[in-house]
Structure 1
Amino acid sequence: MKKFALSLCAAAAVCCAPADEVFSPAPEDVKILGTEGDLAKVLKRDIGFGEGALYRPSTGEVFFSDQPKNTIYRWTGKDGFSVFMRPAGYTGAKGQMDKAIDFGPNAIALDGNENLVFCQQGHRRIARIDEKRFEVEVLADSYNGKKLNNTNDLCVLKDGSIFFTDPGFWHKRRAPEADELDFSGIYKITPKGETVLIDGSLPQPNGIDFSPDEKFMYVSQSGNGEQCWFVYELDETKTKVVSKRVFCSLKKWTGKVRGAPDGMAIGRDGWIYATGNGGVHLFSPDLKHKGLVKIENQVANCCIITDGETEKSLFVVGPKGAYTIDMRRLKSLARD
């Protein structure tokens, strides 16, 4: 989920990172910043598979998806949890929801008019929600005339363009429709509505976001292939890849620690909060791994709750849980 942040420090720091430096730690080698119940406060347990966390500052609401329940929830510190939209990810024939966990909604972002834009996985598309009528406007559902795979995560840039990932999760095994594309993709929806392929080489791209000045794109790779995080530099049009590299690999965690690199949030100062194996991984703006908040169950996405210009807390969601983490305490521990 993209926040319309103004800090320029992230790009400057990333430029200083060695091009060939890949951090590939073993689980026992990372700094533990805190744990569930200590640093990570549990808000809710009865969640099917929580995803797509988004904070809307103007209303003070957090939105997140529950995929198997085909629901988008909202949460506030005052009123707690409530249903925002159901059905959300799939609105077709009854009974199909039992055939795939990914038929529900996934990532949610804000456009420049504060409308919710989301990955409507059940229909394999990107859509915008009309909150007055609870209807959706389809923004993208195909590439070169072929239906998208499994729209997963997205972010919105300041010019209104939308970047999203489209991995090939589950469809050959569970969904009633056959795959039409033979690759997983990272795409851009231009302000004019054109869907452009940015990269079709990753086996399963997942989370996506940009540095505060939008010079660098971060993408998590999960599932097939190496579990890791990439940093991309795009050309001026943001339609072609100039460079990309892995900056952190969790290959030593795969199969040993629950989870996989998934959704992320970027702070105004360029810090990266990335859900992945074992909990939430923190990276400084120069892409150094600064520690892990251990969470017992898998986590899948997060967003930053702000109070004016202050980043107050990190809202984290995943299968079987929603959590909040105090940002001031978290940053202090990461910098020690």
Structure 2
Amino acid sequence: MASSALLLFHLHKLLILAFLLKSAAEVDGVPDLNGEMQILENISLPPGACIWKKSSGASHTPCEFEVLDVEFLDVLGKAPKVDFISHAPAHEGGVYFPNNEEFYFSSTWSVDELPEKPANLMKMSLKTGEISVVMKTMMANGMALDNKGKLVVCEQGLFQKRGFIQRIDLHSLSMSVVADNWKGLVFNSPNDVVVKSDNSIWFTDPNYGQTERFKGPSQVGKNQVYCVSATGVVTAVADGFEKPNGLAFSQDEKLLYVTDTGTSVGDGTVDLTKPHSITVFDVEGSNLSNRRVFASVAVLDGNFPSIGVPDGIKVDTTGRVYTANQDGIQVFSRGGKLLGLIRVQGAINMGFVGPQLNRMIVTNYTAIQSVQLNVQGAGLFYARSYHHS
């Protein structure tokens, strides 16, 4: 009995040690690669997928899907596929309009061509791939569809013209301003936006307009996250960011994820000392609490000048988090563990489309690409109700 008890005691200690070593190996979302590789090497991977291998410089010849964790195979399914759709000046937005099977996005722009050629609001037919200009804008950037099927657009503003949040009826193209100031102060340059089920509108406001030289000095003096209530009241709900950028709610809206692209200064330079991370908050109504780092985002090989620039962000119905980074779409577990990479170089933003919301459209400045996955996008209330009505 004594020897059995001693054996159990040592076994218990070994199990604790193994757990601690595994936990230590997963700090900051980095998986226990040795353990994962042993598992993955015994599993048949889907077409286009390969096991990611750590490298001090450039990685091996890249695959379309780099697998770091077994859970990523659930995301990919049996037949994942990346398809090139079209060359296009596709920047931000990434909004699916189910009525006409269209994908809306904002175009790229050049500071040297302002104000004559600002960013345009554009759309692509998901049926034909045809791309067209919808209208000229005041430097449109991020977009979302509200719960009535109207397009909510972040207009960054241009020189002396202030930035604002705009709502557009996609049938009549009639427009209205949702918010254009906080306590009388002009916004910096509204960047990305999401709409909650209670019809409140949440958006980020970094100072890229100032660093990219198409806006005057900041009146707010901070780079904040805002909430516009259904009655139009504008509240600053979070600050302390270097460059708050993409944002997304979890499926149950109890969590809000915000990317910080601080490493991308906006003047063409990179600052490796600034944030390149995803922050998550607990959400109760319009109040945020329990701020914490969800994941620090880095590129998976050495081919890029910056350590990482997590931009657009989306969540699927199981709670996995997707962020657009320089090397593609990085996918994280609910706990912040990096699961894998969908390699679309230079990815900026993306959106789930289609009747099942399981097809992802990715923009990367110069092109639009499509990725067929085995997941369903979260938070797309209008699209989901439209396809189930």
TM-score bucket (shorter structure): 0.7 to 0.9
- Who is 2:93 aligned against? 52
Q: Out of 310, 321, 327, which is 2:373 matched to? A: 327
- Who is 2:124 aligned against? 75
Amino acid at match of 1:286: G
Note the C-alpha offset of 1:157. 0.6
Note the C-alpha offset of 1:124. 1.3
**Alpha-carbon deviations, 1:231-290, whole Å to 9, x = none?**
1113x3322x32111121135779645861111222222222210131101122333211
Q: C-alpha separation between the residues in 1 aligned to 2:65 and 2:306?
A: 15
Determine if the alignment matches structure 1 residue 40 to structure 2 residue 82: yes
The answer to whether the 8 A contact 1:311-1:327 is kept is: no
Structure 1 residue runs of 5 or longer lacking an equivalent are 1-16, 91-103, 332-336
Quickly say closer, same or farther: Cα 1:175–1:287, change in 2 above 3 A: same
Q: Out of 12, 21, 28, which is 1:22 matched to? A: 28
Q: C-alpha separation between the residues in 1 aligned to 2:327 and 2:299?
A: 12
Q: C-alpha separation between the residues in 1 aligned to 2:86 and 2:253?
A: 33
Q: C-alpha separation between the residues in 2 aligned to 1:160 and 1:41?
A: 34
Determine if the alignment matches structure 1 residue 248 to structure 2 residue 295: yes
The answer to whether the 8 A contact 2:28-2:295 is kept is: yes
- Who is 1:232 aligned against? 281
Quickly say closer, same or farther: Cα 1:136–1:287, change in 2 above 3 A: same
Q: C-alpha separation between the residues in 1 aligned to 2:289 and 2:133?
A: 40
Q: Out of 220, 245, 261, which is 1:206 matched to? A: 245
Amino acid at match of 1:278: D
Q: Out of 234, 241, 246, which is 1:195 matched to? A: 234
- Who is 1:267 aligned against? 316
Q: C-alpha separation between the residues in 2 aligned to 1:172 and 1:161?
A: 29
Identity %: 25
Quickly say closer, same or farther: Cα 1:147–1:138, change in 2 above 3 A: same
- Who is 1:130 aligned against? 169
SS at match of 2:374: helix
Q: C-alpha separation between the residues in 2 aligned to 1:259 and 1:138?
A: 34
Give the 5 Å matches for 1:212-223. Answer: 212-223=251-262
Amino acid at match of 1:314: M
Q: Out of 140, 159, 162, which is 2:179 matched to? A: 140
The TM-score with structure 1 as length reference comes to 0.78
Report the RMSD for the aligned CA atoms in angstroms: 3.1
Structure with more strand by fraction: 1
Amino acid at match of 1:119: C
Note the C-alpha offset of 1:181. 1.4
The answer to whether the 8 A contact 1:33-1:292 is kept is: no
Note the C-alpha offset of 1:177. 2.6
Where does structure 1 differ by over 4 angstroms across 4 or more consecutive aligned residues? Answer: 24-33, 251-255
Note the C-alpha offset of 1:305. 1.3
SS at match of 1:171: helix
- Who is 1:289 aligned against? 338
Note the C-alpha offset of 1:168. 0.6
Note the C-alpha offset of 1:39. 3.9
Amino acid at match of 1:65: S
**Alpha-carbon deviations, 1:63-98, whole Å to 9, x = none?**
11113152122222322233252202x2xxxxxxxx
The answer to whether the 8 A contact 2:81-2:373 is kept is: no
Note the C-alpha offset of 1:329. 9.2
- Who is 1:155 aligned against? 194
The TM-score with structure 2 as length reference comes to 0.68
Higher relative contact order (CA 8 A, sep 6+): 1
**Alpha-carbon deviations, 1:187-234, whole Å to 9, x = none?**
100111111111111110100000000000011110242101111113
Amino acid at match of 1:226: P
The answer to whether the 8 A contact 1:172-1:179 is kept is: no
Q: C-alpha separation between the residues in 2 aligned to 1:259 and 1:289?
A: 14
Aligned length: 293
Q: Out of 210, 215, 221, which is 1:182 matched to? A: 221
**Alpha-carbon deviations, 1:147-200, whole Å to 9, x = none?**
000100010010000110000114155125332111100010011111111111
Q: C-alpha separation between the residues in 1 aligned to 2:54 and 2:204?
A: 30
Give the 5 Å matches for 1:80-95. Answer: 80-88=129-137, 90=138
